[in-house]
Amino acid sequence: MNERVRGALRSPLTFSVLAGVVVGALFLVGTGADPVAAYTAVLTGSLGPDGIGATLTTATSVLGMALALAVPLRAGLINLGGDGQLVLGGITAAVTGLYVPLPGPLAVALALLAGMAAGAGYAVLAALCETRLGVPLLVSSLLLSYPAVSLASYLARYPLKEPGSSLPQTRALPDGVALASFGGSTVTVGLVLVVLAAAAYWFTDRRTALGYEIRMTGLNSRFSAYAGVERRGLTLKLMSVSGAVAGLVGAVGVLSFPYRFVDGSLTGPGYTWTGLTAALLAAAAPLGTVVASFFFAVLQVGGLAMERTTEVPRELTQVLQAVVIVFLAARLRLPRRRSGRRKEVV
């Protein structure tokens, strides 16, 4: 075993994930369930042939929101307004899709762009609260999220409500205004878009001066300010990208099944918080964020399978996610052995 592998095993990350799994097992035992059977159900239910489609669909939203939150997090900014940016993107895409008389593919492209613009605009509003008015981003983005969710809910329940339906939802988008899906599955081109966004983030982070500035700001904001990074401009830039990605996730959600804006369907599954958890777990590193998002999508979908086969509530997976982050935030790590082993390597 080389030093790198050993280092990875000893890292706080590995410890946190393991601790999460162990705490989850304790909960399972506490409720009288068999942990091995439950975890097996999580894995087979999410990665097996019946579950992989759902996992990839969930991963689309989780990865999207994780990216949206990772981009500012890389510079040490926490955007807690993901829900607001997400639903504004969704409702804007729905309105565009419903009322713009364009052929299908053009309407889809326009709806995606409109969703991104709406999310970006709203996120910039939160950023302006910090840079112009001195209200911390953490608080301004979160507080702004509630009115946005309420507004979208109002629109879906009153002016845009599908006539004759008892559900709080808009009319279905016209035929052809939808993202293409793979085979008969619910996985759409949205997954490709989100993965492309992740690739763009990776490239920016690793290969561009901007990516370097962002990372430096995250590591030491005073030093980077001294070195000439313009903090206000960077905040606005990062938040607009963050909001645009969140808006994209909302638009993708509307342009996929059930092809309309349903009140609560975008915020209900908690993609924003799962995404934030994934971004935190990976310390906003691009590849890590992708891996962590997929891990949490597996947990979320597998949780449903676990609930079906073992009757353990699916909320257990939510507990697991949070436990992993609690351990990570406390920077716990496996104790280093004090034996002479390390000396041999050195």
Partner 1 sequence: MFFDADLLTSALRALTPILLAALGGALCERAGVFNIGLEGMMLLGCFTSVATCWFTGSPWLGVLAAALASAAYSLILAVGAVTLRGDAVVLGIAMNLLAVGLTSFLLRTVFGVQGTFDDPALAGLPLVGAFTPLAWLAWAAVAVAALLLSRHVWGLRLRGVGEAPEAAATLGVNPAAYRYGAVLLSGVLCGLAGAQLALGNVTLFSQNMTAGRGWIAVVAVMLGRALPVGVLLAALLFGLAEAAGFRLQGLGLPQQATDAAPYVVTLGALFLTTARRRRTRSAPGVVS
Binding site for partner 1 (CB under 8 A): 27, 31, 78, 80, 129, 133-136, 138-140, 142-144, 146-147, 150-151, 153-154, 157-158, 273, 276-277, 280, 313, 315-323, 325-326, 328-332
Cβ closer to partner 1: 280 or 301? 280
CA distance 110 to 273: 28
Cβ closer to partner 1: 135 or 172? 135
Residue 16 CB, nearest approach to partner 1 (Å)? 10
Cβ closer to partner 1: 290 or 323? 323
Phi/psi region, residue 103 (left: phi>0; alpha: psi -120 to 50; beta: rest), is beta
Residue 189 CB, nearest approach to partner 1 (Å)? 31
Residue 287 CB, nearest approach to partner 1 (Å)? 20
Amino acid residing at 119: G
The CA dihedral of 276, 69, 207, 281, to the nearest 10 degrees, is -10
Residue 127 CB, nearest approach to partner 1 (Å)? 14
Q: Is 208 helix (H, G, I), strand (E, B) or coil?
A: coil
Helix (H) / strand (E) containing 84:
helix 82-99
Residue 1 CB, nearest approach to partner 1 (Å)? 28
Cβ closer to partner 1: 140 or 240? 140
Give the residue among 83, 70, 76 at the shortest CA–CA distance from 119. Answer: 83
Cβ closer to partner 1: 52 or 138? 138
Cβ closer to partner 1: 102 or 135? 135
Residue 285 CB, nearest approach to partner 1 (Å)? 15
Residues β-bridged to residue 181? 188
Residue 102 CB, nearest approach to partner 1 (Å)? 30
Cβ closer to partner 1: 80 or 111? 80
Give the residue among 238, 332, 338, 275 at the shortest CA–CA distance from 22. Answer: 332
Residue 53 CB, nearest approach to partner 1 (Å)? 25
Nearby residues of 9 by Cβ (< 8 Å), 6 or more positions away: 334
Give the residue among 43, 31, 22 at the shortest CA–CA distance from 297. Answer: 43
Cβ closer to partner 1: 191 or 304? 304
CA distance 205 to 214: 8
Residue 33 CB, nearest approach to partner 1 (Å)? 10
CA distance 242 to 80: 11
Nearby residues of 292 by Cβ (< 8 Å), 6 or more positions away: 66, 277, 278, 279, 281, 282
Cβ closer to partner 1: 123 or 191? 123
CA distance 342 to 7: 11
Q: Is 169 helix (H, G, I), strand (E, B) or coil?
A: strand
Q: How far is CA 37 from CA 22, 94, 146, 317, in A?
A: 14, 42, 40, 15
Give the residue among 294, 317, 249, 326 at the shortest CA–CA distance from 83. Answer: 249
